[in-house]
Amino acid sequence: MSPVVELRDVGKTYPGGVVALDAVSLAVGAGELVAIAGPSGSGKSTMLHLIGTLDRPSGGTVLVEGRDVSLLSDRRLSALRARRIGFVFQQFHLAAGVSALDNVADGLLYGGVPQAQRRRRARRALERVGLGHRLGHRPHQLSGGEKQRVAIARAVVGEPAMLLADEPTGALDSASGAGVLDLLRGLAGSGTAVIVITHDRDIAAALPRRVRMRDGRIVRDETGTEADR
Amino acid sequence: MTGDAATRPDLPATPPGAPPPGRGGDEGEAAPARLGPRDVLRVGAAGLRARPLRVFLSALGIAIGIAAMIGVVGISTSSRAQLQATLDRLGTNLLTVAPGRDFFGDDAKLPVDTVPMISRIEHVRSVSGTGKLDVKVYRNDRIPEGESGGISVLAARLDLPRTVGLGTVAGRWLNAGTGRYPAVVLGSASADRLGVAAPGAQVWLGSQWFTVVGILAPNDLAPEFDSAALVGWDVAAARLGFDGHPTTVYTRAEKDAVEDVRELLAATANPRSPNEIEVSRPSDALAAENATDEAFTGLLLGLGGVALLVGGVGVANTMVISVLERRAEIGLRRSLGATRGRSGSSSSPSRSCSPRSAGSAASRSASRSPPSSR
């Protein structure tokens, strides 16, 4: 099974000589649920940006669905992000003053989908995350967990091949966090590659595959047995 | 590689039979979609919809600014027009010609035909003159000779009121008839001093009885007429020993040509010896008018400049805040698949800037510090 995303000896050096990633290799296949854990400054976010094609590596190769990202123009990369990659952020980043339905529909904005269809699919995505009764609510009328579920609905409304979540539970209480994790687990079960960045050991331990990072390197990559309960 | 909708047993909310969305052919996948104009507008207006109060206040501020600008310009323009009208009424185009002194320091005289000669100058609208008489006017024949009250007796041409702008408060100005007979028009101050309240009274002028036919209104432009008694040119020559030489010639010139006319006046009034002529400066009102014009223009420019600066800073402020507020959105929109140009970051000076700002917004913006600043 060819991986959805693959990093081959990927390095990232920021101007000023700061090495954020140092020859990292990683492959994530469809349906996998991976936790990337590590202290802050260990290169987690940089790796997420490289996987999500928001940033380009200084060295090495990033392959998304077998395509070399460095060979794609910005327009092609954007199209790739619009259709194959979904993002979830710690701070949700929902548009204020816009209903949950339209927030989710924005996930298809750059995919070339007509608005009526965007709405229809957004409704379906919201029902999938259990918010079918909150379609018209604005972000400030939603709880933190609900906001994150709206954000997840926005990320998956385009049926992406992979979902990147950057501390998705960081701003949530444990109950909402568990709900969000269940949702991610369900998505992985349906065939989406889900990559979760976290610095919370408990959350990392609850996921089937755990990648530990330190100082820009992968120090451990284990496919859990005891956590995979 | 990834499952399609049909292979997702654990997502019951997905309607069965739904077409696998977001799956074009391979070429469709790689080509970026174009945003329709409606979507561009919708995305652009999202910030407006999210903050209707700011939109309202910004619009109100700009409206008030424009209204204030128009108000300031309008008020100062209209008050300038009013001031100019006032100055015009004062007669900024009035020039007076008077005899000066000759080379030997003796009093000179204007030629008898000064008035018709000046009237032939181009751009002269009207000319008139007065001649000072060597007589005094008294209330009656019993008043001692010394108590003349400072009233000067002038022989006046009949067109004097038109040129100088005199009006009467009672009675009327001299005409071709009364100008030949002992009739007198009194200035407002002289009427007071002589105790004449209404036309018809008689005054002792040059040892003869003259009948008052009119009383002049006070005149700002030529105050010398307030304390004067004016008699006709003809009767002055016939009864008061007037030699016909005017002592003051009033000239109204066209406003644009005041300076030109002034240059010609002396030579025209007395071609034989122009040096013996004294021509008044164009009245100070003209200088005032010019100065006012300049001052108002400067004031307006200053006001406009300050208003523009203040308004511009305000508007720029709002725009910067709006942009700052929505900058976090750039990262989000990039992650949703907006191209660099679409997300509005195409103008970033350095290429590394955009991913950085996108990245910082897209990541845990609160806790992440940019790698380069570590």
Q: CA of A167 to nearest chain B CA: how many angstroms apart? A: 7
Total of domains in chain A: 1
Q: Is residue A76 part of a domain?
A: no
CATH number of the domain residue A97 falls in: 3.40.50.300
Range name among A195-209, B45-59, B235-249 with the lowest pLDDT average: B45-59
| Cβ–Cβ gap A79/B337 under 8 Å | yes
Is there a domain that residue A59 lies in? no
Top residue of A33, A49, A115, A118 to mutate, by most chain B CBs within 10 Å, is: A49
Residue B5 touches partner A, C-beta closer than 8 Å? yes
Residue predicted with more confidence, B60 or B21: B60
- Token readout for B317 is 């402020």
Residue (of A211, A197, A193, A198) closest to A85 by Cα position: A193
Residue A209: name the closest of A2, A32, A83 by CA. Answer: A32
Note the Cα B216 to chain centre separation in Å: 33
The answer to whether residues A207 and A34 touch, using CB atoms and an 8 Å cutoff, is: yes
Nearest CA-CA distance, residue B359 and chain A, Å: 7
The letter for the amino acid at A56 is R
Contact status, residue B99 vs residue B111, Cβ threshold 8 Å: no
User: Which band of pLDDT confidence, cut at 50, 70 and 90, is reported for residue B90?
Assistant: low
CB contact under 8 A, B49 and A97: yes
Q: Is the pLDDT of residue B231 over 90?
A: yes
Q: How far apart are CA A119 and CA A109, in angstroms?
A: 10
Sign of the dihedral through C-alpha B238, B242, B248, B249:
positive
Residue B9's pLDDT is 38
Under 8 Å between Cβ of B172 and B213 = yes
Q: Is A31 left (phi over 0), alpha (psi -120 to 50) or beta?
A: left
pLDDT for residue B318: 83
pLDDT tens, position by position, B170-206:
899 999 988 899 999 999 999 999 999 889 999 999 8
Please tell me whether the interface predicted TM-score (ipTM) of this complex is above 0.85.
no
Q: Output the pLDDT for position B279.
A: 85
Which tens digits make up the pLDDT trace of A183-220? 888 888 888 999 999 888 888 888 899 999 988 889 88
Residue A158 lies in domain: 30-49+82-223
CA distance A190 to chain B (A): 5
How close B303 comes to chain A (CA, Å)? 40
Residue A12 included in any domain:
no
Q: Which of residues 234-263 of B touch A (CB under 8 A)?
A: none
**Is position A60 within any domain?**
no
Residue of B nearest to A49 (CA): B359
The residue in chain B having the minimum alpha-carbon distance to the alpha carbon of residue A138 is: B50
Residue of A19, A77, A89 to mutate, interface with B, max B Cβ within 10 Å: A89
A11 within domain boundaries: no
* Residue A118 within any structural domain of the chain: yes
Q: Which residue of A has its CA nearest to B374?
A: A18
Is there a domain that residue A34 lies in? yes
Distance from chain centroid for Cα B315: 29
**B358 vs A contacts (CB less than 8 Å):** 54
Write out A32-84 in H/E/C secondary structure.
Answer: CEEEEECCCCCCHHHHHHHHCCCCCCCEEEEEECCEEHHHCCHHHHHHHHHHH
Contacting B residues, span 120-159, partner chain A, CB-CB under 8 Å? none
Whole-angstrom Cα distance, residue B365 to residue B195? 96
Q: What pLDDT sits at residue B291?
A: 75
The chain-wide mean pLDDT, for chain B, equals 76
Write down the H helix ranges in chain B.
Answer: 26-30, 37-50, 52-90, 114-119, 160, 188-194, 233-239, 258-269, 284-336, 353-362
The phi-psi region of residue B360 (left if phi > 0; otherwise alpha if psi is between -120 and 50; otherwise beta) is alpha
* Mutation choice for A interface testing from B26, B364, B367 by most A CBs within 10 A: B364
Q: Return the amino acid letter for B280.
A: S
Q: Which of B20, B22, B332 sits opposite A83 (nearest CB)?
A: B22
Could you tell me if B306 and A23 are in contact, meaning their C-beta atoms sit under 8 angstroms apart? no
pLDDT reported for residue B364: 33
Closest-CA distance of chain B to residue A204, Å: 17
Residue predicted with more confidence, B189 or B280: B189
Compute CA distances B208 → B80, B182, B195, B199, B238, whole Å: 51, 8, 18, 17, 13
* Cross-chain residue pair A91–B364, CB shorter than 8 Å: yes
Cα dihedral angle (B40, B43, B44, B46), rounded to 10 degrees?
A: 150
The better pLDDT of the pair B297, B241 is held by: B241
- The answer to whether residue B26 neighbours chain A at the CB level (below 8 Å) is no
Least CB–CB distance from A81: residue in B337, B365, B367: B337
Three-class DSSP category at B354: helix
DSSP β-ladder status, A162-166 and A193-198: parallel
- Residue A91 maps to a domain: yes
pLDDT, position B18:
37
Q: What is the model's pLDDT at position B8?
A: 37
Q: From first to last of the 229 residues of chain A, give the pLDDT tens digit.
A: 578 999 999 999 988 888 888 889 999 999 999 999 988 888 888 898 899 888 889 989 999 988 898 888 888 888 888 889 999 888 888 888 788 998 898 888 888 888 888 999 999 989 888 888 989 999 889 988 899 889 989 998 988 999 999 888 888 888 888 888 888 888 888 889 999 998 888 888 888 999 999 888 898 888 865 544 4
